[in-house]
Amino acid sequence: MWAKPLTQWYKANQRNLPWRKAPHPYHTLICEFMAQQTQINTLIPYYDRWLKKYPNISDVAQANEDEILKSWEGLGYYSRARNLHKTCQIILNDYEGIVPKDPEVLQKLPGVGPYIAAAIASIAYEVPISVVDGNVLRVMTRLFGLSDDIGKDKTKKKIQNRLNQIIKTTTPSEFNQGVMELGATICTPKNPNCQHCPIQNVCYAKNMEQIEKFPVKQKKPPTPHHIIVVGIIQRSDGKVLITKRKKNQLLGGLWEFPGGKVKGSETLENATIREIKEEVNLDATIGHFLCKVKHAYSHFKITLHAYMCSVSHHESIQCNSADDYEWVEPSELNKFAFPKANKVIIQHLTESI
Ligand code: SF4
């Protein structure tokens, strides 16, 4: 059986990560929310700062959303921050501030899917339920010699069912973290270090010398690329206009400069004028080009062109596609939570003043 050598290897070789120093259900909750779509090395400083600022669930629950988004700024996928905020409020109000143990109950919380529920239940409470993420899928398809497409839900289910039988016989927190740790450090996508793998004796892919055949994953269609224009509207007193994205949008609740997608054969300048008119009902005049920023999200990429703009009258502002607006000194922009691409624009703006 391979569970025992795996957990022994994990206990002896696990990386020294901050959430492993003092395991606590709240710490696991924060770590698992942050770890979605984010590299471990990126999230560590965020995790440390978060726990200093919000040592308990009640600190998160009682903070306002702007503050939460500001603390999350730069981590991306901001719906995670909003969901974490709501989840902490529900835990405080409905569960006396104690993170639930039952994976079914956990999955009813905002932003908690099967993976996070299983991770919290097993790591914080030793509930015997297996986790299945990209690392686990890679290790298990190699170990068992499974050619199923790992992009399909039924493959995840099949692997989870198989692991659920094994995890009952071991210590759940060590088993789940052991498989994930093996995938992150030894059974890597390229050049796995099989010589140091604790389960190499029973690994199908290693023993059949077919490691490159696993995992099987169907290719995704090419990522769409959007051209975006942004107008930094500056008043005569130097203040610039920022708008707050609607709550139900991607990056909802964050601040940005007005702008949007270029349509058809529009010039960048005309698109900027149109977007400003549509978003805030101002007739803008284009000034100088400020900067170009490239950024990739999970499902699309953008190239963003930013122009300085002026308006002769700004009394007629209407938030047609935003929740709020503010005129802000450029030096004060860092107090607001912005998406990453906008942060680059702010840097160019403050350097150009
Ligand atoms: S022996 Fe190699 S391929 Fe098999 S699980 Fe270990 S590291 Fe992965």
The arithmetic mean of pLDDT across residues 87-94, rounded, is: 98
Find out whether 112 and 101 touch, Cβ atoms under 8 Å: no
Give the ligand 1 atom nearest the CA of 194.
2
Give the pLDDT of residue 221: 86
Length of the chain in terms of residues written = 353
d(CA 194, CA 191): 9
**Residue 229 vs residue 23, higher pLDDT:** 229
- pTM of the predicted protein model: 0.80
Cα–ligand 1 centroid distance for 122 (angstroms): 24
pLDDT attached to residue 313: 81
Burial (Cβ within 10 Å: 0-12, 13-18, ≥19) of residue 295: middle
Least confident interval from 41-50, 133-142, 310-319: 310-319
Q: Is the pLDDT higher at 42 or at 221?
A: 42
User: Atom of ligand 1 at shortest distance to CA of 193?
Assistant: 7
- Structural domains in the chain, CATH included, are 3-213 (1.10.340.30), 225-352 (3.90.79.10)
Closest ligand 1 atom, CA of 199? 6
Centroid of ligand 1 to alpha carbon of 197 (angstroms): 6
Ligand 1 pocket check: which of 135, 136, 139 to mutate, most ligand atoms within 8 Å of Cβ? 139
Q: Is residue 174 within 8 Å of 10, Cβ to Cβ? A: yes
Residue 209 CB: number of other CB atoms within 10 A? 8
Q: How would residue 328 be classed by pLDDT, with cut points 50, 70 and 90?
A: very high
- 353 pLDDT above the threshold of 80: no
Amino acid at 50: W
- Residue entry with tokens 């935003």: 322
Ligand 1 atom with least separation from CA of 211: 3
Summarised one tens digit per residue, pLDDT across range 242-295 is 999 998 888 899 999 999 999 999 999 999 999 999 999 999 999 999 999 999
- Which residue has the least CA distance to atom 2 on ligand 1? 194
Ligand 1 atom closest to Cα of 197? 6
Atom 1, ligand 1: residue with shortest CA distance = 200
- The candidate with the shortest Cα–Cα distance to 146, out of 219, 62, 65, 203, is 203
d(CA 231, CA 308): 6
Instruction: Name the residue at shortest CA distance from atom 8 of ligand 1.
Output: 187
Q: Which residues pair with 260 in a beta bridge?
A: 229
Interval between CA 282 and ligand 1 midpoint (Å): 60
pLDDT beyond 90 at 105: yes
pLDDT in the model for residue 329: 96
Q: How far is the CA of 139 from the centre of ligand 1 (A)?
A: 7
C-alpha to C-alpha distances, 296 to 38, 81, 258, 304, nearest whole angstrom = 13, 19, 19, 11
Are 351 and 333 in contact, with CB atoms under 8 Å apart?
no
Spatial strand order in the sheet of 255-256 = 255-256, 240-244, 324-328
Cα 333 to averaged position of ligand 1 atoms, centre (Å): 49
Q: What are 200's two structure tokens?
A: 């190499």
* Residues ≥6 apart with Cβ < 8 Å to 115: 32, 131, 132, 133
Rounded distance between C-alpha atoms, residue 304 and residue 292, angstroms = 6
**Which residues participate in catalysis according to the annotation?**
32
Specify the pLDDT at position 21: 83
Strand pairing category for 324-328 and 240-244:
antiparallel
In 92-107, which positions are buried (b, 16+ CB within 10 angstroms) versus exposed (e)? beeeeeebbeebeebb
Query: Of 222, 252, 228, whose CA–CA distance to 306 is shortest?
Result: 228
Distance 142 CA to ligand 1 centre (A): 7
Q: Look at residue 299 and tell me whether its pLDDT is greater than 90.
A: no
Identity (one letter) of the amino acid at 148? D
Ligand 1 centre and the CA of 86: distance in Å?
40
> Which among 331, 345, 351 is positioned nearest to 258, based on CA atoms?
345
Q: Which residues does ligand 1 sit against, CB inside 6 Å?
A: 139, 142-143, 186-187, 192, 194, 197, 199-200, 203, 205-206, 211
Contact 97, 57 (CB under 8 A): yes
Percent of the chain with pLDDT over 90: 91
Q: Locate the ligand 1 atom nearest the alpha carbon of residue 138 and give its number.
A: 8
Q: Which of 36-45, 72-81, 94-103 has the highest mean pLDDT?
A: 94-103
Residue 89 above 80 pLDDT? yes
Indicate the helix (H) or strand (E) that contains 222. Answer: none
pLDDT in tens, 31-52: 999 999 899 999 999 999 999 9
How many CA atoms lie within 13 Å of 337's alpha carbon, on the beta-carbon side?
Answer: 23
Q: How confident is residue 100, by pLDDT bands cut at 50, 70 and 90? A: very high
Inform me whether the pLDDT recorded for 314 exceeds 80. Answer: no
Q: How confident is the model at residue 352 (pLDDT cuts 50, 70, 90)?
A: confident
Q: Which long-range contacts (CB under 8 A, 24 or more apart) does 113-120 make?
A: 115/32, 116/29, 116/32, 116/33, 116/36, 118/160, 118/176, 119/28, 119/32, 119/176, 120/25, 120/28, 120/29, 120/32
